[in-house]
Structure 1
Amino acid sequence: MTFGDEDDHRAPPARPQSLMFSFLGVYVLGRGVAVYSGSIIDVFARLGVSEEAVRSTLARMAKRNLLLRHRRGRKVYFGLTPHAVNVLEDGRRRIWETGAVNRAWDGTWTLVGFSLPDSRRSTRHDLRSRLIWAGFGLLQSGLWIAPGTKDVIGVLDSLDLGDHVTVLTARAFKPTETADLVRKAFDIEQIARRYQAFLAQWDTPRPLPSAPDDLARQLLLHTDWLQLVRQDPYLPAEHLPRNWPAIRAEQVFRSLAGEYEPSAAEVAEGVLDLLSPR
């Protein structure tokens, strides 16, 4: 595969909850404020999200202990729970600190091996889904690997695996080659296609000309990028193609994020009704 191909791989549209996480991460996280539901509806109307979808998303997130309701008269404001702060801080670190390209890999791998009976097929499915989300790839039957030292306690938490799982850190030794581990355990072409979809959307002279303003562009950009890097296993750069599209994609994201921020903040200031809960 040539990773510089200009195929127009379009990213799927963002779900309201994904957009909500971006909105909360940019305009609520670290500010000690709650936001009036009506002004959230106004913001999301710019993104083509209906009032019904916004209210449903807010209700679900409150039920999942991500949002707190604050009533002032007839108005309802939504603020962050400690759980939401942790989730959003993780996203912030992934965007601004970890980045999309792993240039500081120390040669270690985290290995997770498990063997579950057929009676626990549902648990096996849940574990596999969590490992993929955490950046692990399937090397061979029952053995998953991820670059670096991973804290897998959160991945395994609540699954009650007991002696059915083993977690180790290791390094590759001859005849095993790191490049072979990357190739066997991870779908490099699929990862590349995701970055190409991002570039097809955003690496243009005028991205999203139909968006009403830079606030809408900012939230769509952040949502697309966070979804992208959360699906990236963060493989070591030295074992990826030299023209790996994540490099260009990260440059585009950072450039556009800086470009949109002043205008988006000005629009948000005029739209958002904020409350400082006591």
Structure 2
Amino acid sequence: MTFRGPVLSEEASGGEAGPPQSPSTRPQSLMFSFLGVYVLGRDVAVYSGSVIEVFARLGVTEEAVRSTLTRMAKRGLLARHRSGRRTYFGLTPHAAGVLEDGRRRVWETGAVNRDWDGAWTLVGFSLPDSRRNTRHDLRSQLIWAGFGLLQSGMWIAPGVKDVGAIVAELGLRDHVTVLTARAAGPTESADLVRKAFDTGQIAARYHAFLDRWDVPGPQATLPDDLARQLLLHTDWLQLVRQDPHLPAGHLPPDWPAIRAEQVFHTLARAYERPARDLADGLLEVVTLPRKIASGA
């Protein structure tokens, strides 16, 4: 199965919006946050025992951590390295790409699209029932890329999107049509936003985030800033990966993503130094030769 987003293949649901997400304590979701903060961009592998110690702060059992690491290794997301009798886990190039995409969404893309130029990307396809799994994978990848279902077989996303890699990887070059276009009367861009995207559901997710993090909640119940940092980053990435980044001009002026982003950045800055100090004392890492770290 194609796997581009951190938890996409396990949590995407064919384009239908689900209820607002509760705090994500899925070990794999937390693992991606941990790897993105403490392993991405470093030529290191981390000892599994020290990962277990970190995750115990979040109430994740040793069995769950080991199972998550093993599953991710089997899927080509982590590489095992031995040093003596200990096993260390490092990123594969595929995992580094996934995490880098998440990093950009968290720190660069932003929660509000203020620079939209009026262009839309349209993707049309028709696949037989015999390719149902491939169809599901394509829909999941389109959702991850910010597309919404406009009508049967037609998906749209604001801005110019490069979906060539998705189409090629799924072997659908002859089954998919990709266009860029602008709305023309009588169709308005506001109509496209309303028809293809459930803005009420998107807003509800941001309100749920604010209910958790804009009040004394997880901050008070978790044992330290390392645990708070990992849960905060996990919750925020869950939000931004589900947000199609709709044009600000077609959203309410009190769009909750604005406040939610401010809360995330404020808390992330507050947790960063003490969390890193704790992590430095807990994590045992080995430095990898650059050739191994880069997958060469």
TM-score with structure 1 length normalisation?
A: 0.93
Q: What is the aligned counterpart of 1:53 among 58, 64, 72?
A: 64
RMSD of the alignment, in Å?
1.4
Report how far residue 118 of structure 1 moved. Answer: 3.4
Q: How does 1:34-183 map to 2 (within 5 A)?
A: 34-183=45-194
Q: Could you say if the C-alpha distance between residues 28 and 119 of structure 1 is closer, same or farther in structure 2, counting changes exceeding 3 Å? A: closer
Q: Partner amino acid for 2:134?
A: T
Q: Partner amino acid for 1:146?
A: A
Instruction: Report the secondary structure of 2:166's partner residue.
Output: helix
Deviations 1:158-180 (A, max 9, x none): 33324321100001112111111
Report how far residue 277 of structure 1 moved. Answer: 1.9
Q: What is the aligned counterpart of 2:249 among 233, 238, 246?
A: 238
**C-alpha distance in structure 2 between counterparts of 1:12 and 1:204, whole Å:** 14
**C-alpha distance in structure 1 between counterparts of 2:95 and 2:171, whole Å:** 25
> Residues 24 and 234 of structure 2 are in contact (CA less than 8 Å); yes or no, is this contact kept in structure 1?
no
Please name the residue that 2:24 is paired with. 13
**C-alpha distance in structure 2 between counterparts of 1:32 and 1:140, whole Å:** 46
Q: Could you say if the C-alpha distance between residues 36 and 143 of structure 1 is closer, same or farther in structure 2, counting changes exceeding 3 Å? A: same
Please name the residue that 1:6 is paired with. none
Point out where structure 1 has 5 or more consecutive residues left out of the alignment: 1-8
Please name the residue that 2:284 is paired with. 273
Please name the residue that 2:226 is paired with. 215
Which 4+ runs in 1 deviate beyond 4 A? none
Instruction: Report the secondary structure of 1:79's partner residue.
Output: strand
Identity of aligned residues (%): 75
Please name the residue that 1:4 is paired with. none
Q: Could you say if the C-alpha distance between residues 123 and 108 of structure 1 is closer, same or farther in structure 2, counting changes exceeding 3 Å? A: same
Deviations 1:101-139 (A, max 9, x none): 111111110000112233333332332222222211111
Deviations 1:222-273 (A, max 9, x none): 0000111000001001100110000000000000000001110111111111
Deviations 1:39-80 (A, max 9, x none): 000000001100001001111111111111111111111111
TM-score with structure 2 length normalisation?
A: 0.88
